[in-house]
């Protein structure tokens, strides 16, 4: 039986169309997301909380960090 973390991550991976976009949003590697979903590694609480937040996020491109970017001239 899958753990809660596995179930949530599986839903997020399905929602965003794969483990790579989810990995970008979670700040981990694609391989790590795959290990979490497969149950090879337990899902840390911090990752689980971020994944739960992603369930309420529309599947769009991750936002670029904001800050002072040089203006193109």
**pLDDT (tens digit per residue) in 13-28:** 999 999 999 999 999 9
Residue numbers in the chain where pLDDT is lower than 70: 60-73
Distances (CA, A) of 14 to 9, 19, 66, 70, 71: 8, 8, 28, 37, 38
pLDDT given at position 15 = 94
């Amino acid at each position: 039986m899958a753990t809660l973390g596995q179930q949530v991550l599986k839903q997020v991976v399905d929602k965003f169309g794969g483990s790579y976009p989810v990995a970008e949003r979670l700040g981990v590697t694609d391989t790590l997301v795959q290990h979490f979903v497969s149950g090879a590694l337990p899902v840390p609480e911090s990752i689980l909380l971020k994944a739960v937040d992603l369930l309420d996020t529309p599947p769009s491109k991750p936002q670029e960090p904001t800050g002072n970017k040089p203006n193109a001239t």
